[in-house]
Amino acid sequence: MKKRCAQYALDYIKPHSILGLGGGSTIAYLVEMIQAKQLDVTIVTPSVTTAKLCQAAELTVVPMSQVDHVTVAFDGCDEVDGHLNALKSGGGIHTKEKVIATMADDYILLVDESKVSDTLSFKVPLVLEVLPQALAKVKADVLRLGYQVTARMSATSDGYTYTENGNLLLEVTIDSGTCEAIAQQFSAIVGIVETSLFYQIATKAIVVTTEGKRIIERSQIK
């Protein structure tokens, strides 16, 4: 499924374009295919792993700080709804992913059918990237909204997980609410750098099914 999804993504890549690539195994397959087809593209990525894969494939990788426009960006997600609202949780690089997504003319999610729902169920936590100095304040604000919140702890040390930006990650359990309301609630909390809810950002989703694929496009959403 992931290989097929990467194969379909190739159709959206034009020569001499700037590509944004997220992380994950589907993106890894896409890197292999870009190398195999010898596509002349420039890569920007928030993922250290993806950057290393691209460099090993002798693809041109440039720092995010040197780019203000991306032709097309590809990424995965934990869940996406019929209105192309998406939720991420695992990697903790969603702030950088959003930067690339909002620079892209086309931001395309690569998923299989199991990750698509009519409306987001928030079966995985909403992740907040938070300034360390605002930790207690943000936790209190989230609790006042009625949500459960916990800090993500490091798997390799006795302490918090820190992002490459030097910030902390909080995981919020969402039981109900619309994407619009949730996006507004958390954007209003000072101290949150970004959330893992991608509200009205994606332009397309390539959804791989057992029969083939289907495309969800923002232009078709009413």
pLDDT of residue 5: 94
Whether residue 6 is predicted with pLDDT greater than 70 in this model: the reply is: yes
Across the beta sheet with 148-151, the strand order is 148-151, 168-173, 126-130, 192-195
Which are the contacts of 66, defined by CB distance < 8 A and separation ≥ 6?
none
Q: What backbone torsions phi and psi does residue 114 show, to the nearest 5 degrees?
A: -65, -20
164 is catalytic: no
pLDDT of residue 157: 73
Q: What is the number of alpha carbons within 13 Å of residue 10 lying toward its C-beta?
A: 19
pLDDT confidence bin for 91, thresholds 50/70/90: confident
Contact status, residue 149 vs residue 139, Cβ threshold 8 Å: yes
Predicted confidence (pLDDT) per residue in 124-173, tens digit: 999 999 999 999 999 999 999 999 999 999 877 779 999 999 999 999 99
Predicted confidence (pLDDT) per residue in 46-56, tens digit: 999 999 999 99
Burial class from Cβ neighbours inside 10 Å (0-12, 13-18, 19+) for residue 18 reads buried
Predicted confidence (pLDDT) per residue in 105-131, tens digit: 999 999 999 999 999 999 999 999 999
Which range is least confidently modeled, 42-51, 88-97, 180-189?
88-97
Predicted confidence (pLDDT) per residue in 26-52, tens digit: 999 999 999 999 999 999 999 999 999
79, 97, 171, 194: the catalytic one is: 97
Residue with tokens 């892209």, as numbered in its chain: 104
pLDDT of residue 222: 58
DSSP states of 18-53:
EEEE--SHHHHHHHHHHHHTT---EEE-S-HHHHHH
pTM (predicted TM-score): 0.93
pLDDT of residue 137: 98
